[in-house]
């Protein structure tokens, strides 16, 4: 078992900014963290921009929260080693990498849109004239939806990174969750998995970014589905505790290897082909963490003793205290007006669901 002293000794080997905290104060910083004006002896409390309650209750797993360092927000993942917590900060290069992905996605989106428009018109003709084409066109459709999901994630990762405010409006968040999980439950019934969802018992109106919330929910469900064996179950629950909502999604799969737990929120940095393909390119968890940050919350990953993983995203119940200026321009739909659930869950759903969707 790793000792706290070992964690401190390994700190200097970590290239990204990192520091250790014990009893609420910084015990050690590496060179990259020192360059951000972090010093031994600094109190952690004033640095916490989000996650004060969540960090106070933190006992293990990997917690994503937002710090304020030198007046600017900075995301950090936290893991516990004995009585010492190791904070890994987002790197300056991250935004550059995400912008490069967004530019590549921009180049891919147009030809993909053309292909999907052509297949929309072509496939009904093929299936009506040729027997046995339904299964083939469904497989192609599913592949196109998978490509659309990847391109959308690449395109929006930079736009959604950090806690940048999105299109926030006052809505009944309980209704949003109920509709999303009801849609997902119907689709998951075709995969051999069962979704058990427990929602809020009363309506809760607060400021939300509907698109970010939707994509966070679907990404959490997609990950749970990919790691849950056939015949298994995914548990989802939304609870209110004071002025925060806690959304948890739990699978009964194989869990997350300890070696990658501290980087679970930035897995797009992994080497292609080296790890389990079910992790994808890792942008899904980036969208989840950014959804939590812009709603004043955090994300916690916990290993379940009996097997599986539980992700819990918190959301601050905030009210609109100032008038919102709404643009008369229509927002561009990230999925090109196609079914959002079929797009976001395309890595886990069977091809048959993509037949006759045009």
- The predicted-structure confidence for 178-217, as pLDDT tens digits, reads as follows 999 999 999 999 999 999 999 999 999 999 999 999 999 9
Asked if 319 and 202 sit in the same domain, the reply is yes
CATH number at residue 24: 3.30.450.20
**Which residues are CB-contacts of 229 (< 8 A; sequence separation ≥ 6)?**
252, 253
Q: How far apart (Å, rounded) are the C-alpha atoms in residues 278 and 266?
A: 15
Phi-psi region at 37: left, alpha or beta (left = phi > 0; alpha = psi -120 to 50)? left
Q: Residue 341: is its pLDDT beyond 50?
A: yes
Asked if 173 and 317 sit in the same domain, the reply is yes
Each residue's pLDDT tens digit, 260-303: 766 777 755 554 444 555 555 668 888 999 999 999 999 999 99
Mean pLDDT of 322-335: 57
Domain annotation covers residue 335: no
Asked if 311 and 217 sit in the same domain, the reply is yes
Number of domains in the chain: 2
- The residue ranking higher by pLDDT, 330 or 99, is 99
CB 206, CB 317: distance < 8 Å: yes
SS3 163: coil
Report the C-alpha dihedral over residues 90, 94, 99, 101, rounded to 10 degrees: -120
C-alpha distances out from residue 121 to 107, 124, 188, 273, 317, Å: 23, 7, 28, 35, 45
Return the pLDDT at 271. 47
C-alpha distances out from residue 186 to 189, 193, 346, Å: 5, 11, 14
Starting from the edge strand earliest in sequence, which strands make up the sheet with 18-22, in order?
Answer: 25-29, 18-22, 84-89, 72-81, 62-69, 299-303, 309-316, 244-250, 233-241, 194-198
Residues found in the chain: 358
C-alpha distances out from residue 260 to 131, 270, 275, 279, Å: 47, 10, 10, 11
In the chain, % of residues over pLDDT 90 = 61
| Residue 271 per-residue DSSP state | P
Q: Residue 344: is its pLDDT beyond 50?
A: yes
SS3 350: coil
Q: Residue 1: is its pLDDT beyond 50?
A: no
Please, which pLDDT band fits residue 9 given cuts at 50, 70 and 90? confident
Which of 88-92, 147-151, 233-237, 349-353 is least confident?
88-92
Return the pLDDT at 126. 87
Q: How far apart (Å, rounded) are the C-alpha atoms in residues 137 and 355?
A: 7
In the chain, % of residues over pLDDT 70 = 87
Mean pLDDT of 29-51: 94
Domain annotation covers residue 357: no
Last residue of a domain, one of 62, 89, 116: 89
Q: How far apart (Å, rounded) are the C-alpha atoms in residues 278 and 110?
A: 27
- The residue ranking higher by pLDDT, 220 or 267, is 220
The distance from CA 253 to its chain's CA centroid, rounded to whole angstroms, is 18
Last residue of a domain, one of 55, 89, 123: 89
Domain that holds residue 297: 168-324
Q: How far apart (Å, rounded) are the C-alpha atoms in residues 56 and 214?
A: 28
Asked if 184 and 290 sit in the same domain, the reply is yes
Q: How far apart (Å, rounded) are the C-alpha atoms in residues 247 and 238?
A: 4
Return the pLDDT at 249. 97
Domain annotation covers residue 342: no
Please, which pLDDT band fits residue 98 given cuts at 50, 70 and 90? confident
Each residue's pLDDT tens digit, 247-260: 999 998 877 777 67
């Amino acid at each position: 078992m790793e000792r706290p002293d070992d964690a401190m000794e390994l700190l200097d080997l970590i290239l990204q900014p990192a520091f250790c905290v014990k009893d609420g104060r910084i015990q050690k910083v590496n060179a990259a963290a020192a360059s951000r004006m972090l010093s031994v002896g600094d109190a952690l409390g004033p640095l916490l921009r989000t996650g004060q309650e969540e960090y106070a209750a933190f006992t293990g797993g990997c917690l994503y929260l937002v710090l304020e360092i030198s007046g600017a927000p900075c995301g950090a993942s936290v893991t516990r080693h004995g009585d010492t917590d190791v904070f890994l900060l987002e790197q300056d290069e991250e935004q550059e990498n995400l912008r490069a992905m967004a530019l590549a996605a921009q180049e891919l989106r147009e030809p993909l849109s053309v292909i999907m428009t052509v297949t929309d018109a072509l496939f009904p003709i093929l299936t009506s004239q040729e027997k046995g084409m339904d299964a083939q066109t469904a497989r192609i459709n599913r592949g196109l939806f998978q490509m659309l999901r990847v391109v959308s994630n690449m395109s929006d990762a930079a736009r959604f990174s950090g806690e940048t405010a999105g299109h926030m409006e006052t809505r009944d968040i309980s209704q949003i969750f109920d509709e999303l999980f009801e849609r997902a439950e119907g689709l998951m019934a075709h995969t051999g998995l069962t979704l058990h969802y427990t929602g809020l018992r009363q309506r809760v109106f607060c400021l939300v970014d509907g698109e970010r919330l939707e994509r966070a929910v679907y990404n959490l469900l997609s990950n749970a589905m990919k790691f849950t064996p056939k015949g298994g179950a995914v548990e989802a629950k939304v609870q209110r505790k004071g002025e925060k909502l806690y959304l948890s999604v739990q699978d009964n799969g194989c869990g997350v290897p300890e070696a990658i737990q501290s980087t679970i929120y930035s897995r797009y940095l992994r080497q292609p082909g080296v790890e389990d393909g079910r992790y994808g390119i890792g942008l899904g968890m980036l969208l989840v963490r950014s959804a939590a940050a812009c709603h004043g919350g955090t994300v916690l990953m916990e290993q379940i003793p009996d097997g599986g993983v539980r992700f819990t995203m918190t959301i601050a119940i905030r009210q609109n205290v100032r008038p919102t200026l709404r643009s008369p321009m229509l927002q561009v739909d990230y999925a090109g007006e196609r079914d959002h659930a079929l797009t976001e869950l395309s890595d886990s759903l069977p091809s048959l669901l993509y037949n006759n969707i045009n």
